[in-house]
Amino acid sequence: MGVEVRVEGLTKSFGSQNIWSDVTLTLPPGEISVLLGPSGTGKSVFLKSLVGLLKPERGSIVIKDTDIVRTSEHRLYEVRKLFGVLFQDGALFGSMNLFDNIAFPLREHTRKSESDIRWIVLEKMDMVGLQGAEGKLPGEISGGMRKRAGLARALVLDPEIILFDEPDSGLDPVRVAYLNQLIVDLNAQIDATFLIVTHDIGTARTVPDNLGLLFRRHLAMFGPREQLLTSQEPVVRQFLNGRREGPIGMSEEKDVAQVEAEMAALEARGGDQHNGVGPKGASGGDAVPPQLEPSPGLPERQAQRRRQERVARMLHEFDPATAQAIRASLPEDLLAQADAGVFAPTPLAGGRHWAAESAPAGGAAVLPGPRGRS
């Protein structure tokens, strides 16, 4: 099963330039989470912090009882073996061909025979649609191919936590659709914890269990996908609808008067529902589209039931629209339990926004409330 990643109060600066502060979130084990945010808000920096490549000044990142921020170099190398990371540009080794690139982790960390390695590498290359390109050098292939090769390399060691930095950038829409399906299928097969950074709203709406948005040096919101998809928060709505009207500007933040004027003009035109289609799969309104299912023939995602139990316990904490959307995704038995008041409301606890694994499922346990929006 995937590994839980618990981030608390994380703050990162370069010199005097603060990138983000006080980021608190938990990636539930085995679930798929998507992190959104305007360019330059430090999403890549966040991913690099998770694998210990950058050291945040404050806060903690706990994975399997190890705090990545403060652990020893030696232990860090151990924990990193849990990770598969797809960097923004693939980060392939320029001096090796694709086959050697993908075989690299196997040759370094396993004692597999060369024929086993060959078999695994070819299988992964097939999976990402790169068959026949084994002998090519990274400099000789397109950006989209580099990305897929990077993905194949991230997958060869069967990681328990997989981080993607913009897996869809540089890919055509059909490839993105295949890639999204691949992500969901992978999740069903290996039950790893996924965190995807993306600018593709279509992906953000349909793939993840959880959604988060980084904005103005803070985590503006993080929670079950329904929470963001139905959110009335101006920033979230602007981002998910891919429009200019709203608090996010081209480079600087906008002043309040301008934002209000823009929003009024938008309302006059009929609001998001009538605003047509935005870029990158952004479509009008706050509908919650159905989540992508694993391909036929694959097992059900194990995280699915865990997540349903988790959000059922949190049901009372959301506003009506979100609760409505979540209820629509829950099976009968959990709904019945929730309505019977089995999941008793509890006061906010410790900044956690989802129930801990150890809480007895179905019991009237003391459950932590959601992280309040600050």
Partner 1 sequence: MTDGEKPKAPGLLDGKLSPLRPLRASGNLFAFALDVARSLPRRPFQFREFVQQTWFVASVTILPTALVAIPFGAVIALQLGSLTRQLGAESFTGSASVLAVLREASPIVTALLIAGAGGSAICADLGARKIRDEIDAMEVLGISPIQRLVVPRVLAAMVVATLLNGLVSVVGVAGGYFFNVVLQGGTPGAYLASFGALAQVEDFWSGEVKALVFGLIAGIVASYKGLNAGGGPKGVGDAVNQSVVITFLLLFAVNFVMTAVYFQLVPPKGQ
Ligand X SMILES: Nc1ncnc2c1ncn2[C@@H]1O[C@H](COP(=O)(O)OP(=O)(O)OP(=O)(O)O)[C@@H](O)[C@H]1O
Residue 53's nearest CA partner among 77, 29, 33, 34 is 77
89, interface contact from ligand X, Mg ion, partner 1, none, CB < 5-8 Å by kind: partner 1
127, interface contact from Mg ion, ligand X, partner 1, none, CB < 5-8 Å by kind: none
Q: Is there binding between residue 39 and ligand X (CB under 6 A)? A: yes
Q: Is there binding between residue 169 and Mg ion (CB under 5 A)? A: no
Q: Which long-range contacts (CB under 8 A, 24 or more apart) does 348-354 make?
A: 348/372, 351/8, 351/9, 351/24, 352/26, 353/25, 353/26, 353/222, 353/223, 353/314, 354/26, 354/28, 354/310, 354/314
Q: Please provide residue 14's backbone torsions phi and psi, each rounded to the nearest 5 degrees.
A: -110, 110
Q: Is there binding between residue 87 and partner 1 (CB under 8 A)? A: yes
Query: Residue 41 or residue 304: which is nearer to ligand X going by CB?
Result: 41
- Two tokens at 366? 């003391």
Least distance in angstroms from the C-beta of 15 to partner 1: 6
Cα–Cα–Cα angle for 254, 257, 259, rounded to 5 degrees? 50
**x/- site string to partner 1, residues 36 to 55, per CB under 8 A?**
------------x--x-x--
Q: Is there binding between residue 44 and ligand X (CB under 6 A)? A: yes
Query: Residue 81 or residue 244: which is nearer to partner 1 going by CB?
Result: 81
Least distance in angstroms from the C-beta of 371 to partner 1: 15
Stretch that binds partner 1, among 104-112, 231-239, 269-277, 288-296 (CB under 8 A): 104-112
Stretch 171-230 residues interacting with partner 1 (CB under 8 A)? 217-218
Stretch that binds ligand X, among 40-48, 105-113, 137-145, 264-272 (CB under 6 A): 40-48
Q: Which of 1, 3, 13, 294 binds partner 1 (CB under 8 A)?
A: 13
- β partners of residue 26: 6
Q: Is there binding between residue 71 and partner 1 (CB under 8 A)? A: no
Q: Please provide residue 155's backbone torsions phi and psi, each rounded to the nearest 5 degrees.
A: -95, -15
Residue 11's nearest CA partner among 24, 25, 21, 26 is 21
362, interface contact from partner 1, ligand X, Mg ion, none, CB < 5-8 Å by kind: none
244-to-114, 221, 228, 239 alpha-carbon distances in Å: 53, 20, 19, 9
Least distance in angstroms from the C-beta of 74 to partner 1: 11
Query: Residue 49 or residue 230: which is nearer to partner 1 going by CB?
Result: 49
Q: Is there binding between residue 303 and ligand X (CB under 6 A)? A: no
Q: How far apart are CA 248 and CA 25, in angstroms?
A: 23
Q: Is there binding between residue 42 and ligand X (CB under 6 A)? A: yes
Amino acid at 359: A
Question: What stretches of 43-153 adopt beta strand conformation (E)?
Answer: 58-63, 66-67, 83-86
Q: How far apart are CA 332 and CA 66, in angstroms?
A: 38
- β partners of residue 195: 33, 163
Query: Residue 147 or residue 306: which is nearer to partner 1 going by CB?
Result: 147
Q: How far apart are CA 241 and CA 254, in angstroms?
A: 18
Q: How far apart are CA 295 and CA 189, in angstroms?
A: 11
195-to-2, 252, 327 alpha-carbon distances in Å: 12, 28, 24
Q: Which of 11, 13, 21, 44 binds Mg ion (CB under 5 A)?
A: 44
Least distance in angstroms from the C-beta of 14 to ligand X: 4
Query: Residue 10 or residue 45: which is nearer to ligand X going by CB?
Result: 45
- Which spans of this chain sit near Mg ion (rule: CB under 5 A)? 44
Q: Interface residues with ligand X (CB under 6 A)?
A: 14, 19, 37, 39-45, 88
* Residues binding partner 1 (CB under 8 A): 13, 15-18, 21-22, 48, 51, 53, 77-78, 80-81, 83, 85, 87-89, 91-94, 104-105, 108-109, 150, 217-218, 374
